[in-house]
Amino acid sequence: MKNIFYAFIFISLLFSCKSDIKQKAQDTIKTKSVNGQSETLIKKFKPILQGAWVNTEFIDAIEETKSPVLAYTKAANITTMLIDTKGIKGDTAIIDVGYGNHEVKD
pLDDT at 70 > cutoff 50? yes
pLDDT at 63 > cutoff 70? yes
Q: Of residues 11 and 82, which shows the higher confidence score?
A: 82
Q: Of residues 51 and 24, which shows the higher confidence score?
A: 51
pLDDT band, very low/low/confident/very high, at 74 (cuts 50, 70, 90): confident
Distance of CA 77 to the CA centre of its chain: 23
Residue 8 confidence (pLDDT): 74
pLDDT at 106 > cutoff 50? no
